[in-house]
C-alpha cells in the first residue's frame, strides 16, 4: 500500500479537474451533509453537489464526502484529478498512509485509494477552510435540512457570495 501512496503523493500534475470537498456534522442527530465542488483547470466552478447522509462522526462524514467525490470523478471519466479538503487527518492518511483516524474512516479512505488507481494521475491535498468555503456552504446546506442538489454551470444563488469570495482566495478570474 505504501507504494501507491508514495506515487500519489509525488505526482505533480496538470489536472483535468479538481474537486473541493467538505462535510458538516450534527452529532446529536448523526446527520451530516457533504458538499462537492467541481472546478476546471483555471479554478472556475463547473458543477456542484450537496447530499445529506448519516455518519457516526465528523471524521467519518469527511471520509464519505471524499468517497463521493472520487466516485463522481470516476463516473465523469476524468483521468487526472486533484481532490482538496480541509480535513488534515484525512489528507495525511491518503498521502502518507497513517493518521489518527477511526477504523470506519480508514476503511472508507482505503476504498478511495482503490478507486484512485483508476485515474492516470491523482492527488489529494489539504487546503485551509478559506480556500474551501464553497464546499463548506454546500455541506452546511445539506446538513441543515436542505434538499440534495446537483447543478452544472449555473450555481444556486445562495452560493454567489461564497463564489465571489472564493475568486479572491484562489486568484481565479471569470472568463468572458
Over residues 64-106, the pLDDT tens digits come to: 999 999 999 999 999 999 999 999 999 999 999 988 999 999 9
Report d(CA 27, CA 70) in Å as an integer: 25
Here the CATH number for the domain that contains residue 38 is 3.30.420.10
5 in a structural domain: no
Look at phi and psi of residue 125 and say left if phi exceeds 0, alpha if psi is from -120 to 50, else beta. Answer: beta
Q: How many angstroms separate the first and last alpha carbons of the chain?
A: 45
- Has residue 48 been placed in a domain? yes
In a domain, 38, yes or no: yes
Percentage, residues of the chain above pLDDT 70 = 86
What pTM was estimated for this model as a whole?
0.84
In a domain, 4, yes or no: no
Name the residue range of residue 111's domain: 17-158
**Domain count across the chain:** 1
150 within some domain: yes
Q: Is residue 167 in some structural domain? A: no
Is the pLDDT at 3 greater than 60? The verdict is no
Higher pLDDT, 71 or 175: 71
The answer to whether position 176 is within a domain reads no
Checking if the pLDDT of 6 tops 50, the result is no
The pLDDT value given to residue 108: 98
163 occurs within a structural domain: no
Amino acid at each position: 500500500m505504501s507504494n501507491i501512496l508514495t506515487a500519489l503523493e509525488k505526482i505533480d500534475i496538470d489536472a483535468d479537474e479538481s474537486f473541493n470537498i467538505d462535510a458538516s456534522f450534527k452529532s446529536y442527530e448523526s446527520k451530516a451533509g457533504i458538499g462537492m465542488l467541481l472546478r476546471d483547470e483555471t479554478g472556475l466552478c463547473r458543477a456542484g453537489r450537496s447530499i445529506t447522509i448519516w455518519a457516526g462522526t465528523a471524521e467519518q462524514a469527511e471520509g464519505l464526502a471524499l468517497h463521493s467525490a472520487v466516485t463522481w470523478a470516476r463516473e465523469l471519466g476524468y483521468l487526472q484529478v486533484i481532490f482538496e479538503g480541509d480535513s488534515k487527518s484525512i489528507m495525511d492518511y491518503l498521502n502518507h498512509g497513517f493518521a489518527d483516524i477511526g477504523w470506519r474512516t480508514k476503511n472508507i479512505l482505503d476504498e478511495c485509494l482503490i478507486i484512485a488507481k483508476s485515474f492516470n494521475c491523482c492527488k489529494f491535498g489539504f487546503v485551509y477552510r478559506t480556500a474551501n468555503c464553497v464546499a463548506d456552504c454546500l455541506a452546511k446546506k445539506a446538513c441543515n435540512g436542505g434538499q440534495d442538489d446537483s447543478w452544472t454551470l449555473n450555481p444556486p444563488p445562495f452560493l454567489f457570495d461564497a463564489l465571489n469570495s472564493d475568486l479572491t482566495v484562489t486568484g481565479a478570474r471569470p472568463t468572458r
